[in-house]
Structure 1
Amino acid sequence: MDHYLTVILLGIVEGLTEFLPVSSTGHLILASELLGYDAATWAMFNVIIQLGAILAVVVLYWRTFWAVGMGLLRREPVSWRFLRNLLLAFIPSAIIGLALHDYIEILLGAPTVVAWALIAGGIAILLIERAVKEQRFHGIADIPVVRVLGIGLIQCISMIPGVSRSGATIMGALTLGVERRTAAEFSFFLAIPTMLGATTLELLKKGDRITSAAIGWDSITLGFLVSFLVALLVIKWFVGLVSKHGFAPFAWYRIIAGAAALVWLTMR
């Protein structure tokens, strides 16, 4: 496949899937199997273009971040609770991610794990959507500390490729009483420290491999921009969709995609 076509496709996959409960990492792993490119060669590229998707959150929600920043300067309790909840939810993944980093990297080379995780995650979403009734918390700053830590711990399940960081965060928030739109937005905001931390760890460990003879800064820049632009569109669409229809469409997609991947991996 043409080099720049691969760059664009990977940027699209990252931008499409980073904030949907379908697993961006899982899709990138399956893409490497389907498209036949060398996953190891493109590993750092995939890590860096995640920052393009993260930038989309900052751009779309700049008013929220500005209001929180001004509130922190004015010592407004609601702004401090917002920041506290974001940092507390990030702590479990930071600790567990550092402790299990080497084991997680082994799983990244297992597309069959991704396929099964897609199916299991889809079933879990359907069950949670049906079971959850009470939605007590309608703002990120309103979520109690214990429940925030619970959401952070549940997010750690997404270290299994195919589970989905956003999916685990959103479903965890729903089970702990957070309403749908707030759960989705909390997953967007929590992605910022989580993905920045994961990217920083990868750069510290493998920074000398950021570019290679096959992948230069022009490719990284193009992938970053594609990921950013696609994520801008996806985030706005996603919030509107889940507010009206919930998460069931993504659950069925996961089950179908996971089953198709299993069949393909078995028959190839």
Structure 2
Amino acid sequence: MSDIMIGIIMGIVEGLTEFLPVSSTGHMILTAHLLDFTGERAKTFEIVVQLGAVLAVFMLYWRRFIGFLNVKRSFTNEGKVNLVHIMLAMLPAVVIGLALHSVIKKYLFGPETVIVGLVAGGILILVAERMKVKVTAETMDDLTYKQAFGIGLFQCLALWPGFSRSGSTISGGMLLGASQKAAAEFTFIVSVPIMFAATGLDLYKSREFLSVDDIGLFAAGLISSFVVAMIAVVTFLNIIKRLSLSWFAYYRFVLAIVFYFILFG
């Protein structure tokens, strides 16, 4: 299979799964295994292709991000999500991620840990659904600073591959009193700066594996990831009020079983 086709397939998988509570890492590892796309080159590609999905969210919420540039207004803009919310939500994962970055990359990026993360993340989704916590933040702009920080703490679970950033933060938001849609939108907003930072760090550490010969592969992945992520985010937000998150949990359990038998059966 050509590099361009591999890039398109992997980009579609990344764009479709990055912001759904199903674990993009698990899907990317499984897809790469099926395509026999492995090694340092593949790992570097998986870092680069995330930028496409992040850029899609930036484009969808660009007015929000432009508003954050007015720091004074953003910090004093009560009743709306502002920079304080974003910083509080980012802080826990940034601190723990930087402290344990090498450990996570060395010991947790494997099929066994991804399977555990898929199952554990699915259980968290079911718990959040069954708890039926009273909703105090119907929209993203209703979130308090305390809820933002709490969502940030739940985001730390996503440092375990397979757990899913959106799965952990949406579930955490619901357990803290946010509606599904409010938690999802806030998750998308927070993902942009934290994923840009994480991707930039990973790219810097993987710079020796970047090659001009891979421009076609990376471009195909970025473009397909960008387009599919934009469609996936808009679609997810449109159906989330009517769709139970439990279905994503059940899907994760099935994926974990499939993952196990394909890789170890």
Answer whether TM exceeds 0.5 for this pair.
yes
Given that 1:85 and 1:141 are in contact with CA atoms closer than 8 Å, whether structure 2 keeps it comes out as no
Q: How many residues align?
A: 265
**Identity %, equivalent residues:** 38
Counterpart AA for 1:188: F
- Asked if 1:11 is matched to 2:14, the reply is no
Secondary structure of the 2:206 match is: helix
Secondary structure of the 1:45 match is: helix
Which of these residues, 241, 244, 252, is aligned with residue 242 of structure 2?
Answer: 244
Counterpart AA for 1:238: F
- Asked if 1:104 is matched to 2:104, the reply is yes
Bigger drift between 107-116 and 127-136 goes to 107-116
- Asked if 1:208 is matched to 2:208, the reply is yes
Given that 1:32 and 1:39 are in contact with CA atoms closer than 8 Å, whether structure 2 keeps it comes out as no
Bigger drift between 106-115 and 197-206 goes to 106-115
Cα 1:75/1:154, change in 2 over 3 Å: closer
Deviations 1:41-83 (A, max 9, x none): 2112111111111111121223333455569558752387522
Secondary structure of the 2:178 match is: coil
Match of 1:149 in 2: 149
Match of 1:116 in 2: 116
Cα 1:85/1:6, change in 2 over 3 Å: same
Secondary structure of the 1:118 match is: helix
Match of 1:255 in 2: 253
1:144 Cα deviation (Å)? 2.4
Cα RMSD (Å): 2.1
Bigger drift between 49-58 and 125-134 goes to 125-134
Match of 2:48 in 1: 48
In structure 2, how many angstroms separate the alpha carbons of the residues matched to 1:5 and 1:222?
A: 8
Counterpart AA for 1:152: G
**TM, length-normalised to structure 1:** 0.91
Cα 1:232/1:57, change in 2 over 3 Å: same
Match of 1:85 in 2: 85
Match of 2:165 in 1: 165
1:266 Cα deviation (Å)? 2.4
In structure 1, how many angstroms separate the alpha carbons of the residues matched to 2:217 and 2:146?
A: 43
Counterpart AA for 2:12: I
Deviations 1:86-113 (A, max 9, x none): 1111111111111101111124541122
Cα 1:41/1:242, change in 2 over 3 Å: same
Q: Show structure 2 runs of 5+ residues with no match.
A: none
Match of 2:20 in 1: 20
Q: Show structure 1 runs of 5+ residues with no match.
A: none
Counterpart AA for 2:83: L
Given that 1:69 and 1:79 are in contact with CA atoms closer than 8 Å, whether structure 2 keeps it comes out as no
Deviations 1:116-157 (A, max 9, x none): 221222122122201123110134343222322221111011
In structure 1, how many angstroms separate the alpha carbons of the residues matched to 2:194 and 2:256?
A: 25
Bigger drift between 60-69 and 113-122 goes to 60-69
Counterpart AA for 2:22: V
